[in-house]
Structure 1
Amino acid sequence: MAFDILERRREKFVLWIPAQSAGAKYPQLILGTLDLGPPATFNKVFQGQLVTSNQPDLWELDPHDIDPPLEDGKIYHYWFEIEDTSADSLGIIQVTDPIAYTVDYRITQTREERVQPGAVIRFRNDKLWPCDIDGNEPDVVATPAQDAIPDNNHLVIYELPASWAKPKEIGTVEVDVGTFIDVLALFDLATVGDRFSDIPAIATEAILTDLGINALELLPAADAKPMGEWGYATAHYFAPDFDLGMASSLVKLVEKIHSQNIRLFSDVVMAFGHDPYTHIASKQFHLDPRDEPTNPDSYQSHTNQLRNGYGGQSWRYIQNTNTYDPQSGNPGNVHPAWAFHRAHLHRWMSDFGVGGYRLDSVNNIANYDFIRAYKEDAWALYRSRYNSSSDAKFLVIGEELSDPIDMISSGTLNALWNEPFQRRLRAAILGESTGGDDFGWTVRKMVNCTLDSDHPFTDGAQAINYITSHDTEGFRKERLFNFLDGNHVTDIERRAKLAFACFLTAVGIPMIFAGEEFCDQHDRPIAQKQVDPVNYARKTEDWRSRVFSYVSNLVRLRKECPALGDNITDFIHVDASRGGKIMAWKRGAPNHAPVVIVANFSDDETPGTEYFVENWPERDRSDWREVTQNRDVPREWVGREPLMHWEAKVYTYWK
């Protein structure tokens, strides 16, 4: 599916400036080469005006019109020089190409907002080719066989931030960015890593292959200026983050995970940006809600609060302009911000094989029509790529913590983060109730999100469940270890295993925040999520390694067992004699081999040598097994095994 402006950039330097002010200075191209030094220096070889194209508001420059002529095979760095349209305009400014596929900070050596990195391009065979900073031209991710793509209702997503940590000295840690090569090392024994190659768990293991997840969600991988953070200050939407590595490394990572039948989910920030259009055509693309109190575009959906730019500029979504349409290539009535975001959607899906999206803070995007159009474009690209009409192998997820189900029922999104799940699970593993429910209903709604009358999901593939997410600040949102420790829990390993047993067998798509699979803990103050890293060195600790093994067993069950891929849940046992704190439930439709979970949410062990669970299905079978301990259950002990305190056991005869 062609996108016109992305095709044009192969032939010419292009810059789209919708509704440019009359009398504004013509944009200019500044182009040159990089001398690595040290220090790195820019050698300008050309500066000249772009010219109007055959489309309104589109400026172009044919590389063959540049004098001196460009050298075949040469790598060039370039900027556009324009009149700054931002509120704090300082006149003329050099900006990065808004659709640059590669950016390079080595020249500027600063991350100041107004100082923009150069875009990188290679001139070869009379065309302009995307390339890495070393001149390598990245391949396009090959399309995997569709039958190898996991279905949505059997996904286990791994949410991975860029910020990682490693021990430095006793009691201290060093924080750095884990690059695409470091991520590759989590899946590939032959890759020792990059900046974290001195951590044995990365250099000598393939942790995420061992864990068994089948979807990797990279927190925003598009370029952001801040270093060592989570990447939510997106500046260059078409370029992989400079600090994470080159596009070729990302392609290598995606090819590797595809070979293991793992989908790539991309996290995208479209509520606000730090992009070049804040200077190029700011009033067309962005707004300051405080300056436009009568504009409905200034307000969040589901609240009466102003949209928040979090240091960036809110994208303007209610804006019609008669201009060049970057998608069709024809003049028309265009929403500039819509077109820009749909363009980078095409770039990431076509070049990097993205197999699903998570849209950040959709309430702060605050425009259902745009979100629906973006989702529909993503689905059209998926179906074009695979020539498929399957609804089971692609997903567009929104983050809105009030869980507005109308975003799903209206077709705006496919799924939402299920924020109440986290509250219910954390209450349950302390033996508490929450949300005005008694303990029994706290557990029931946790286990089966379709029972939540306030947020009535109708299918498990609509709900993204999590014990912890990257939003670790706030009441009961910190990492699981710190939550349990802060509540004076002494048997953290046991409670963590109970949490994961409930989590990985519940209705909904489980999402594991990186490090929780071995009970990582905060290396920075909990309120500072932007600098709290993942510490993979902790995975080697004995008890944490046991948690990891426990979780990996359940991950494999979750992604493969048919009973955990549907919504059917029957609560077969509630022990009123113990305050309802021992419960058992069965997952799976009648045509599936069931999964039975028996959980003890109390300090007391069951008395005697056996504990009888009433209503156990097919009790006389001889092929039941207990999953978490990988053991067969003798026929005479089916539905009769005792429980330790704060313990869950998971049974099935599915092979």
Structure 2
Amino acid sequence: MSILRRIGADYTPGRGTTFTVWAPEAEKVEVLLQNADKKKITLQREAFGYWTALAEDAGPGTRYMYTLNEEKDRPDPASQFQPDGVHKASAVVDHTRFNWTDKNWKGLPLKQLIIYELHVGTFTEEGTFESIIQQLPELKDLGITAIELMPVAQFPGNRNWGYDGVYPFAAQNSYGGPEGLKKLVNACHEQEIAVVLDVVYNHMGPEGNYLNDYGPYFTQKYNTPWGSALNFDDAHSDHVRNFFFQNALMWLRDFHIDALRLDAVHAIYDTGAKHFLQELREHVTQLEQQENRPFILTAETDLSDVRLVNPVDKGGYGLDAQWFDDYHHVIHTLLTGEREGYYEDYGKPEQLKKALEHTFVYNGLYSEHRKKTLGTDATDNPARQFIVCSQNHDQVGNRMLGERLTELLSFEMLKAVAGLVLLSPYVPMLFMGEEYGEENPFLYFVSHTDKDLVEAVRKGRKEEFAYFASKGEAPDPQSEETFNRSKLQRSYTSNEKQNQLREFYKQLIQLRRTAPALAKPDKPYMEVNLEEEQLVLHLIHKGKEPALYCLFNLSNQTQETALLNTTVSGDWKLVLNSADAAWGGAGADIAESLKAGSTFTLPPASVLILQKQK
């Protein structure tokens, strides 16, 4: 494991601020303090192209820029605050000032996470970190145990998904900056809610990206869908790796973040002896020992590769969990009938059974969409290593019109889908607003200031969705209206149907958190049977007594079915029926107690949950 070098503006009370920047090709580096006397200090060159200097009169809030070779004034690549946006001066941050009240908080294990993904700018009307605090009681009431923030690293303007960030260390100024983020994390921990932060280590955004002025942060060896790849294995890569290792450690240590979600790790290219992700895990493990608390690393990938989550002694990178897209794709295609793009590999009923029993659907199979064999076998990997959802920012927001499942499925089917996610053995994740059937879309939006870049983005979106011209034009991503249309309405307080759906989610989450059979759900402790023609799924959790029998009708017709003669003997008691009037259903005449082999009628688009009677 490499020895790390601190970078950025490191403030120490009573001593001042030490400025350190990596600029291996520079001949001279100065820091220009934008205080009263506009003081300029020359940094001293150290080994491997690092430059450093102590400024005793640079305190918290001091604005500064680096001057490279007496020619270019640039913000700090490791800036922890950009109060005036991506093109202006950086500001010194004091991490010793904040009054943390979470000293007894030690985080939550993966098996206890009910994750709620949200976008800071559209989750509330104000679009700030602090405004989320007001909503935490509602999330806690719902049963959420972790929020996952889409990226908050400083991006241009004040409207962006976050994946165009160019200052990985700086919490977005329009959201409330580092102080606002700390307040949110502290408040979450007071409510016993963990915080997952989405971080982007596979590319940098285009506007305000000055890294090339400092050094070889990028490599021409590889390309990503978003431009040049970050340099994790080429010449000088040790110091690029250091930059991102330090970034991860900062969020966990200084902001008390509980977990990181690593964006699109299949685009982190590294053919070195020790992959970036493996070494990141090692540095985080060392921090765990120092802080005496665990930190969780999860990853997004589309490669269906267990190497991410396998331990190092099995050739893996040792991450804790990864997003499991197959489960989403199977559910989406079966229920919406959509088969375009990457969905063409899905839509077969038997894939749902396979996803539950073996995890990856493509586990060494040929993918028609990719025209190659894809995936590894995850059958023996524990279910807690995989995060599932029916909606997320990508699967909703990358649609031309940003439609949620609310627009694509019936009200009754929305409840069945909730059951598929929350009653699976995997770690469940909801997308903001899903729990009550939010009707506003979640669209793609930006607020770039570079006119040419704005036009390029607009053109790219139009070309991407040219096939869907019959549905109209893609909304203008630069328009403030597009952003405002994506904000949650929270209309469930005045909409009976939406409130019933939210109460149904709440009941499912409560069951997930309290039922003994779901305390440690896993593939070896389940029985799965699928009536493929009828689309009736039998899912039995039997890890601990009393066992749970989850029965889904995923068709839009009533279906005759019978309880299976399972390895769990005895009678079954009905504990939840999505067709009940309490959940906005039409009602269904199903006996309160059922025996194995008994036949009955399942309402269309429904889920029943039965518990073994003693």
Check the 8 A contact 1:143/1:353 in 2, yes or no. Answer: no
- For the residues of structure 2 that align with 1:383 and 1:648, how far apart are their CA atoms? 44
Q: Partner of 2:66 in structure 1? A: 80
Pick closer, same or farther for the CA change 1:652–1:376 going to 2, 3 Å.
Answer: farther
Pick closer, same or farther for the CA change 1:210–1:586 going to 2, 3 Å.
Answer: same
1:371 to 277, 285, 294: 277
Q: Partner of 1:411 in structure 2? A: 316
One-letter code aligned to 2:75: T
* TM-score, scaled to structure 1: 0.72
Check the 8 A contact 2:4/2:242 in 1, yes or no. Answer: no
Matched, 1:220 2:179: no
Question: Offset at 1:421?
Answer: 0.9
1:643 to 585, 594, 602: 602
Matched, 1:272 2:203: yes
1:238 to 169, 182, 186: 169
Check the 8 A contact 1:143/1:385 in 2, yes or no. Answer: no
Q: How does 1:172-571 map to 2 (within 5 A)?
A: 178-187=127-136, 206-274=137-205, 278-282=211-215, 284-287=216-219, 289=220, 295=221, 298=222, 306-309=223-226, 314-321=229-236, 335-367=238-270, 369-386=275-292, 394-409=295-310, 410-412=315-317, 413-430=319-336, 439-450=348-359, 452=361, 453-454=363-364, 455=375, 456-457=377-378, 458-471=381-394, 472-473=396-397, 479-481=403-405, 484=408, 492-523=410-441, 533-540=486-493, 541-564=495-518, 565-567=520-522, 568=524, 570-571=526-527
- For the residues of structure 2 that align with 1:480 and 1:153, how far apart are their CA atoms? 27
Pick closer, same or farther for the CA change 1:523–1:183 going to 2, 3 Å.
Answer: same
Worse-superposed segment, 347-356 or 49-58: 49-58
What's the secondary structure of 1:251's corresponding residue? helix
One-letter code aligned to 1:314: A
Pick closer, same or farther for the CA change 1:56–1:375 going to 2, 3 Å.
Answer: closer
Question: Offset at 1:57?
Answer: 3.0
Q: How does 1:134-145 map to 2 (within 5 A)?
A: 137-140=97-100, 142-145=102-105
1:600 to 553, 568, 584: 553
Structure 1's unaligned 5+ residue stretches are 34-43, 65-69, 84-90, 106-110, 123-128, 132-136, 167-175, 188-205, 290-294, 299-305, 322-333, 388-392
Matched, 1:17 2:9: no
What's the secondary structure of 2:92's corresponding residue? strand
Pick closer, same or farther for the CA change 1:652–1:8 going to 2, 3 Å.
Answer: same
- For the residues of structure 1 that align with 2:179 and 2:278, how far apart are their CA atoms? 31
- For the residues of structure 1 that align with 2:489 and 2:90, how far apart are their CA atoms? 34
One-letter code aligned to 2:521: D
Q: Partner of 1:95 in structure 2? A: 74
Q: Deviations over 1:155-193 (max 9, x none)?
A: 211111123178xxxxxxxxx661011211111xxxxxx
- For the residues of structure 2 that align with 1:20 and 1:221, how far apart are their CA atoms? 30
Question: Offset at 1:634?
Answer: 7.3
Q: Partner of 2:471 in structure 1? A: none
- For the residues of structure 1 that align with 2:383 and 2:213, how far apart are their CA atoms? 43
One-letter code aligned to 1:411: G
Pick closer, same or farther for the CA change 1:184–1:408 going to 2, 3 Å.
Answer: same
Check the 8 A contact 1:75/1:121 in 2, yes or no. Answer: yes
- For the residues of structure 2 that align with 1:508 and 1:231, how far apart are their CA atoms? 27
Number of aligned pairs?
533
Worse-superposed segment, 96-105 or 353-362: 96-105
Alpha-carbon RMSD: 3.6
- For the residues of structure 2 that align with 1:74 and 1:252, how far apart are their CA atoms? 18
Question: Offset at 1:440?
Answer: 4.4
Pick closer, same or farther for the CA change 1:623–1:95 going to 2, 3 Å.
Answer: same
- For the residues of structure 2 that align with 1:245 and 1:394, how far apart are their CA atoms? 24
One-letter code aligned to 2:353: R
Pick closer, same or farther for the CA change 1:60–1:575 going to 2, 3 Å.
Answer: closer
Q: Partner of 1:326 in structure 2? A: none
Structure 2's unaligned 5+ residue stretches are 365-374, 445-473, 584-589
What's the secondary structure of 2:304's corresponding residue? coil
Higher relative contact order (CA 8 A, sep 6+): 1
Question: Offset at 1:99?
Answer: 2.6
One-letter code aligned to 1:593: P
What's the secondary structure of 1:550's corresponding residue? helix
- For the residues of structure 1 that align with 2:613 and 2:426, how far apart are their CA atoms? 20
Q: Partner of 1:38 in structure 2? A: none
Check the 8 A contact 1:431/1:602 in 2, yes or no. Answer: no
Q: Partner of 1:194 in structure 2? A: none
- For the residues of structure 2 that align with 1:637 and 1:355, how far apart are their CA atoms? 43
- For the residues of structure 1 that align with 2:91 and 2:80, how far apart are their CA atoms? 8
2:541 to 587, 591, 596: 587
Matched, 1:32 2:34: yes
Question: Offset at 1:573?
Answer: 5.4
What's the secondary structure of 1:62's corresponding residue? strand
Check the 8 A contact 1:450/1:459 in 2, yes or no. Answer: no
One-letter code aligned to 2:114: V
What's the secondary structure of 1:164's corresponding residue? helix
Worse-superposed segment, 370-379 or 12-21: 12-21
What's the secondary structure of 1:273's corresponding residue? coil
Q: Partner of 2:564 in structure 1? A: 614
Pick closer, same or farther for the CA change 1:448–1:522 going to 2, 3 Å.
Answer: farther
- For the residues of structure 2 that align with 1:46 and 1:460, how far apart are their CA atoms? 57
Question: Offset at 1:381?
Answer: 1.6
Check the 8 A contact 1:102/1:239 in 2, yes or no. Answer: yes
Question: Offset at 1:245?
Answer: 0.5
One-letter code aligned to 1:563: A
- For the residues of structure 2 that align with 1:603 and 1:151, how far apart are their CA atoms? 38
- For the residues of structure 2 that align with 1:477 and 1:261, how far apart are their CA atoms? 36
* Identity among equivalent pairs (%): 17
* TM-score, scaled to structure 2: 0.77
Check the 8 A contact 2:572/2:613 in 1, yes or no. Answer: no
Check the 8 A contact 2:407/2:439 in 1, yes or no. Answer: no
Q: Partner of 2:42 in structure 1? A: 50
Check the 8 A contact 2:105/2:189 in 1, yes or no. Answer: no
One-letter code aligned to 2:303: S
What's the secondary structure of 1:384's corresponding residue? helix
- For the residues of structure 2 that align with 1:450 and 1:153, how far apart are their CA atoms? 16
One-letter code aligned to 2:233: I
What's the secondary structure of 2:133's corresponding residue? helix
- For the residues of structure 1 that align with 2:218 and 2:475, how far apart are their CA atoms? 28
- For the residues of structure 1 that align with 2:99 and 2:209, how far apart are their CA atoms? 26
1:161 to 93, 96, 119: 119
Question: Offset at 1:460?
Answer: 1.0
